[in-house]
Amino acid sequence: MRIFCFLILAVITILEIGPIPITPLVLLWVVVFRPLWFYELVLKIYGKK
């Protein structure tokens, strides 16, 4: 899981070089739709199950 998160962050970092900011769009999507995978990731990171 740690490698997967690292790869996603690396891809977002590479895409940020372009003219369109990607990170704010991804964060807005997470806030609006609250996907289950994001909630589970937060629980995994902070260890509160």
What residue numbers bound the domain in which 38 lies?
2-46
Contact call for residues 13 and 26 (beta carbons, < 8 A): no
Query: What is the value of pTM for the model shown?
Result: 0.54
Name the phi and psi angles at 16, rounded to 5: -65, -20
Domain count, the chain: 1
Q: Does residue 20 come out as left (phi exceeding 0), alpha (psi in the -120 to 50 range) or beta?
A: beta
pLDDT, tens digit, 9 for 90 and up, residues 1-49: 778 888 888 888 888 887 878 888 888 888 899 899 888 888 888 886 5
